[in-house]
Structure 1
Amino acid sequence: MTIGSTPALLDCEALAACLGTAGSVVLDATFFLPNQGRDAAAEFRAAHLPGAQFFDIDAVADRRSALPHMLPQPAEFAAAVGALGIGNGTHVVLYDANSFMASARAWWMFRVFGHDRVSVLDGGLAAWRARGHSEQSAPALPRAACRFEAAYRPELVRDLEAMRLLVNGAGVQIVDARSPGRFTGSEPEPRAGLRFGHLPGSRNLFFKWLIDSETGCMKAESELASAFRSAGLDLREPLVTTCGTGVTAAILALALYRLGRVDVPVYDGSWTEWGGRADTPIATGP
């Protein structure tokens, strides 16, 4: 689905045709979970799309919070993206090297701060390479700073207190993007100190089930709709997405956007916040 003329997903050929043109900026938003043992910034320095700049969700974040990569204040986001040469008229294209982590998170962040001219490269760096497109290791030339005015959309974000209301029966479906083992509590969390399980009443839809295992691209819209229905979710009713730290929850939000649900919020703190507290109810098992 698109808002105006901007597609939520962009294929490699479409990006190759506009790469380096005025009015567009490409950002590598790769993020790895702690247990993956990889360094996103180092991999970016080794190879990235021509002209791309690195977008670090741990840097463009609320540094005052003890939780990882929480949303920054609007002025902080505006300053960070403006320094990357992004203005309110810029088409931002995000990609990553880890199954939409965290290109989808960054896509959601731009939307939260009022910017709809934003797309995600379908299949990311792996798809770009598979199609034989060029890469570079040299740093991109600095871009002239732009003025970016953020317009915060609170309707696309849920916090702890809002989620407390939802688990007490506010009539909103909660969908969790974590793996089935993490959802049921049978597998450990990648971050230490968290309880195991899920928000009471939530449903599980592992984000990888929305991605084609052969191409690394997001599945067709009919398959996405089927996956949500199979998880026991009604696409006509209100939804909110969650995960470990608000990263893969944005992949669900991106998939739902493609299905016409442009109104779906993400629980920013997700399980790291909820499961890290002693005063929040949890459920285990399916």
Structure 2
Amino acid sequence: MSLSLPGSLVSSEWLAAHLDDANLVILDGSFKLPGVTPIAAEDFAARHIPGARFFDIDRIADHDTTLPHMLPSAAAFEGYAADLGISNDSIVVVYDTPGLMSAGRVWWTLRTFGHDKVAVLDGGLRKWLAEGRPVTDALPAVTKGSFRASFDPSAVRSKAQVLGNLDSHAEQVIDARSAGRFTADEKEARPGLRSGHIPGSLNLPFNALTNPETGEILDIPAIRKAFETAGLDFSKPVIASCGSGVTAAALTFGLHLAGKDDVAIYDGAWTEWGQPGDTPVETGSAK
């Protein structure tokens, strides 16, 4: 009987029971902000779930732009995915260290390039370790995969599209950054960026979707309540944004679990919008 996912979120119990399945690819998609050490790749080298491969968000990206970890081309992604041992029939489980910081970005990237047999590990490495489950520093032997990408342009928004949305109001914009960064009470970590948010956008910090004690994602009613409390209307389409396109995907994943998939990510995010220029910026709380 071939392996299949029970849903877009899998438990540590499920993953532990299927660690040795030949068709399973486990990806550690952990990510840290610039300047934070040890870097995520070093953490992975020291300790990871057995069989996991490291999905380097900065390497698996478009290197022809100065913006960080933008989506690569479909052709480039095919090569990256194959090198990780991913084929079109692979079952992929993604995790990160805190629970849901960057795993959503890897989940979203795979889906954006046409691979929907992908799930996030609930609670990430944090919960896995808390349960005393095995980790290793051994790198797995990876057999090259065969992956054909099918890019979904509806999953991504550009700066021009977000600017156009300021007039059309066709889509709601929700920002996954901290409240302090959104209101401009805190300065941006990346030098040269203005502080504040895209005019008219809502704010829901990405970590509001997880249990602060365990890293596990909230149940669906609590997810819906968090978005609705932030002002989101579930009947209207959404653009998710953040600092650099990573934690926006945590919101995208949460909305997916709550049954909402008309959600795109502004990939340039605040790193692009907040640069000096003609993009308008608001400060203070969301209206």
- TM-score tier by shorter-chain length is over 0.9
Offset, 1:279: 1.1
SS at match of 2:235: coil
TM-score computed with the length of structure 2 as normaliser:
0.96
User: 1: distance between equivalents of 2:84 and 2:33?
Assistant: 25
Q: 6-15 vs 48-57, which deviates more?
A: 6-15
Structure 1 match to 2:166: 167
Offset, 1:86: 0.6
Residue correspondence of structure 1 range 233-248 to structure 2 within 5 A: 233-248=232-247
Residue 175 of structure 2 aligns with an amino acid whose one-letter code is: D
Structure 1 match to 2:41: 41
Residue correspondence of structure 1 range 57-76 to structure 2 within 5 A: 57-76=57-76
Counterpart contact for 2:100–2:207, Cα < 8 Å: no
User: 2: distance between equivalents of 1:122 and 1:281?
Assistant: 37
Q: 221-230 vs 6-15, which deviates more?
A: 6-15
Residue 207 of structure 1 aligns with an amino acid whose one-letter code is: F
Offset, 1:167: 1.7
Residue 245 of structure 2 aligns with an amino acid whose one-letter code is: G
Offset, 1:36: 3.9
Residue 53 of structure 1 aligns with an amino acid whose one-letter code is: R
Residue 200 of structure 1 aligns with an amino acid whose one-letter code is: P
User: 2: distance between equivalents of 1:99 and 1:22?
Assistant: 25
Structure 1 match to 2:109: 109
Q: Does 2:266 match 1:251?
A: no
TM-score computed with the length of structure 1 as normaliser:
0.96
Offset, 1:34: 2.4
User: 2: distance between equivalents of 1:197 and 1:37?
Assistant: 27
User: 1: distance between equivalents of 2:283 and 2:215?
Assistant: 30
RMSD, aligned α-carbons: 1.2
In structure 1, list runs of 5 or more residues that go unmatched: none
Offset, 1:6: 5.1
Offset, 1:99: 3.7
Offset, 1:35: 5.5
Write the deviation string for residues 205-251 of structure 1: whole angstroms up to 9, x where unpaired: 11111111111111010000000110111111111100000100000
Residue correspondence of structure 1 range 187-206 to structure 2 within 5 A: 187-206=186-205
Structure 2 match to 1:227: 226
User: 2: distance between equivalents of 1:42 and 1:109?
Assistant: 22
Q: Does 2:128 match 1:128?
A: yes
Write the deviation string for residues 95-135 of structure 1: whole angstroms up to 9, x where unpaired: 11134231110000001000000011111101001111100
Residue 168 of structure 2 aligns with an amino acid whose one-letter code is: G
Instruction: Evaluate the alpha carbon distance shift between residue 124 and residue 267 of structure 1 in structure 2; reply closer, same or farther with a 3 A threshold.
Output: same
Segments of 4+ in structure 1 off by > 3 A? 35-38
User: 2: distance between equivalents of 1:121 and 1:264?
Assistant: 21
Residue 209 of structure 2 aligns with an amino acid whose one-letter code is: L
User: 1: distance between equivalents of 2:21 and 2:200?
Assistant: 47
Structure 2 match to 1:155: 154
Instruction: Evaluate the alpha carbon distance shift between residue 22 and residue 215 of structure 1 in structure 2; reply closer, same or farther with a 3 A threshold.
Output: same
Q: Does 2:252 match 1:270?
A: no
Aligned residue pair count: 282
SS at match of 2:168: coil
